[in-house]
Chain A
Amino acid sequence: MNFNATLIGQSITFIFFVWFCMKFVWPPIMNALETRKKQIADGLAAADRGKHELELAAKKAGDNMRDAKAQAAEVIAQAEKRAAQIIEDAKTAAKEEGDRQLAAAQANIEQEANRARESLREQVAGLAVAGAEKILRREVNAQTHADLLGQLKAEL
């Protein structure tokens, strides 16, 4: 165990090695490690955030679905009500139309009947006058009895 200048040489070498390691080896590696640590942490945070957002979206979708269902049910109910009303309206309109047509037909019939009765009366009056004329031709002057005949005609 004899000491010599190797001691000094070793110290210088050691100091140089430590300096080199401190300058060129340690920082880049630690940098990479730190960056990776940060990236992983960021990635995990992003994943958490994504999960949370997914939950929110699912909840929102559920809400939307429920709303849509309620709306659809409402629309259907309204449509049904409207359909029922339309049928009801149609029924009423049909009935009214029927009534009206019935009334018109009745009026028509009555008119026809009146007209028939009128013409019948005319003809009966004519016949009666003709008959009476035949009977009275010999004894009754048509001119003298014309007002009487006209009166009778008006009465009939």
Chain B
Amino acid sequence: MATEYASSGEYIKHHLQNLTYGQLPDGTWGFAHGAAEAKSMGFWAINVDSMLFSIGLGLIFLLLFRMAAKRATAGTPSGLQNFVEWIVEFIDSSVRGSFSHQNALVAPLALTVFMWVFLMNLMDLFPVDWLPYVAGAAGVPHLKVVPSTDPNVTFGMSLSIFILVLFYSVKMKGAGGFFSELAFQPFPKFLFPVNLLLEGVGLIAKPISLALRLFGNMYAGEMIFILIALMFGGSWVLAVFGGALQWAWAVFHILIITLQAFIFMTLTIVYLDMAHAEHH
């Protein structure tokens, strides 16, 4: 399908562009056509595809689990309940392993993070052209189906978690305790500007690295799928080779998407545990 585009560069760019709704340069509101237009919309624009897919996937997760939760009995579990219990127990043991304080929020948070990120990453396994092609036929100019390749999505989560980390740091240690943790170590107190700089960077790095790790992995994975998809526009030999490559990369990607969801969840738990911990 790369042949529909003027160049492979344009094909790649097209696939990496979100469907952005905002104020167009001429003052009207509408969808951006191209990256430059999307950029000119400034902050008050919204990536409709990211929102729709992430909310849809989140709702699938919540409805599925809610259904199982409603029907949950202490008797012999079957089918859906078995599957849901398996995941819940996995998350619960992870939380028990890394989080050593009492907080009813952490386990459901970890479950939501894991399942949501996993489902968003899972969209990566759809062949890159399927959904955008269908959308294109329906008149939608751009469609990015993997929400976790949108930094807005990953930062949206990591910043929410960062706010929780700050909240629990202040709640558990008090504002003074939190400040002294940042300012009075690892060096002696009189070097507190250095300490503050070091610890401040460490603190800020948490949400940024959390979001960028997921975004980077997914973005790179998506990019490779797009590059492989470019091969289908070449000779049939190249197309067959591309098919094999896509299959291999998809198989490998199953591991990556699960691993990234797991890492995101584990780091969320660890950061919250550090926020609760009295001492470093």
Contacts and interface: CB of A to CB of B under 8 A. Distances in A.
B62 A10 contact: no
B44 interface: yes
Interface stretch (B49-57, B188-196, B198-206, B229-237): B49-57
B47 interface: yes
Interface in B29-87: 38-39, 41-47, 50-51, 54-55, 58, 61-62, 65-66, 68-70, 72-75, 77, 84-85
Given A6-B46, A18-B109, A32-B73, A13 B55 contact: yes
B58 A18 contact: no
Given A10-B51, A25-B108, A26-B107, A20 B62 contact: yes
Contact of A26 (B39, B77, B111, B150): B111
A34 to B, nearest CB: 8
A2 B39 contact: yes
Interface in B190-241: none
A156 interface: no
- Range for the number of chain B residues in contact with chain A: 35 or more
Contact of A29 (B22, B44, B88, B156): B88
Majority-rule SS of A interface residues:
helix
A24 B20 CA distance: 33
A4 B46 CA distance: 6
Given A10-B51, A10-B155, A33-B89, 15 more contacts: A4-B45, A5-B46, A6-B150, A7-B152, A10-B156, A11-B160, A24-B69, A25-B65, A25-B108, A25-B111, A26-B88, A26-B108, A29-B85, A31-B72, A35-B74
Interface of A: 1-11, 13-15, 17-18, 20-22, 24-33, 35-36, 39
